[in-house]
Amino acid sequence: MTNLAATPIRVMLVDDHPIVRIGLAALIGTLPGMETVAQAGNGREAIALHKEKRPDVTLMDLRLPELSGVEVIRTIRTVSPDARFIVLTTYEGDEDIHQALQAGARGYIIKGMPHDLLADAIKRVHAGGRYLPQVIKETLANRTPSSDLSVREREILERIAQGKSNREIATELDLAEITVKCRVSAILERLDVHDRTEAVVTALQRGLLHL
């Protein structure tokens, strides 16, 4: 009879920095009952490897070449709804956390946290639970739902961060300049800020924008 208790938890690592993946693989190799079965350096590779290796738990960074971590999670879960993900990232803005959990992540850990948290997270998520450290719960609890930005507003915000004027944004997005002006006003109101610079700073802090 197979001893299921002795079957290791199969983990896949997704991060665009090879040194990070090597370090994580080495750490997981020291944890009882766990093994690394695949490593991916970009979003498309992650999707292909997940289909091939079928890991029990995937550790996913959010910022990846080609596709974001959130997009990868969504894509994989359309064909494998039971796939289990833990986000392991440097980003701790409330919007980053919200988007990852909405996509289907069951855990969210900030890089630099003690490694025993990672072991606990993998075990809990593998068992069907969720793992959100207290600091992540507090950040998420403080998120204001009314501050959600539409896709178009995010596009405008990205161009504001690039220092572009309303006229330049209007030309790029094929909009009327007055429309861009109205959208900018809406963005300032949603983010509860007074000017474009403050909007960019707040958006970066929250994870609504990444440079």
Bridge partners (DSSP) listed for residue 25: none
The total domain count for the chain is 2
Instruction: Give the end of a domain, one of 93, 126, 141.
Output: 141
Phi, psi of 17 (to 5 degrees): -105, 115
Chain segment 160-201, per-residue pLDDT in tens: 989 999 999 999 999 888 888 888 888 888 788 888 988 888
Residue pointed to by tokens 């996913």: 60
Same domain, 30 and 45: yes
Q: Residue 20: its pLDDT value, please?
A: 92
Same domain, 30 and 91: yes
Say which residue, 94 or 14, is predicted with more confidence.
Answer: 14
pLDDT recorded at residue 211: 67
Residue 1 has pLDDT above 50, yes or no: no
Q: Is 57 left (phi over 0), alpha (psi -120 to 50) or beta?
A: beta
User: Within this chain, do residues 160 and 119 fall inside the same structural domain, yes or no?
Assistant: no
Which residues, other chains included, contact 73 with Cβ-Cβ below 8 Å and sequence gap of 6+? Answer: 60, 83, 85, 100, 103, 104, 105
Q: Which residue has the higher pLDDT, 144 or 24?
A: 24
| Model pLDDT for residues 122-161, shown as the tens digit of each residue | 999 999 999 998 888 888 877 766 567 778 888 898 899 8
| Same domain assignment for residues 123 and 163 | no
Look at residues 190, 170, 193 and name the one whose alpha carbon lies nearest to residue 180: 170
Domain range for 198: 145-206
CATH number at 175 reads 1.10.10.10
Q: Indicate whether 88 and 19 sit together in one domain.
A: yes
Report the run of H or E that residue 37 belongs to, with start and end: strand 34-40
Tell whether the model's pLDDT for residue 24 goes beyond 70: yes
Higher pLDDT, 206 or 56: 56
pLDDT (0 to 100) of residue 145: 63
pLDDT reported for residue 93? 80
Shared-domain flag, residues 112 and 8: yes
Q: Per the confidence metrics, is the pTM higher than 0.75?
A: no
Give per-residue pLDDT as tens, 63-92.
888 888 999 999 999 999 999 999 998 877
| Residue 61: C-alpha distances to residues 69, 86, 111 (Å) | 6, 9, 10
- Domain end marker among 141, 168, 193: 141
Burial 34-51 (b: 16+ CB within 10 A, else e): bebbbbbbebebbbebbe
Q: Look up the CATH number of the domain holding residue 77.
A: 3.40.50.2300
In a domain, 106, yes or no: yes
From the list 46, 44, 62, 52, the residue with the least C-alpha distance to 13 is 46
In a domain, 33, yes or no: yes
Q: How confident is the model at residue 2 (pLDDT cuts 50, 70, 90)?
A: very low
Q: Judge if 160 and 130 occupy the same domain.
A: no
Residue 10: pLDDT above 50? yes
Same domain, 104 and 155: no
Q: Clarify whether residues 27 and 63 are in a common domain.
A: yes
Rounded to 5 degrees, φ, ψ at 185 are -60, -40
Residues 127 and 150 in one domain: no
211 part of a folded domain: no
Last residue of a domain, one of 122, 141, 160: 141
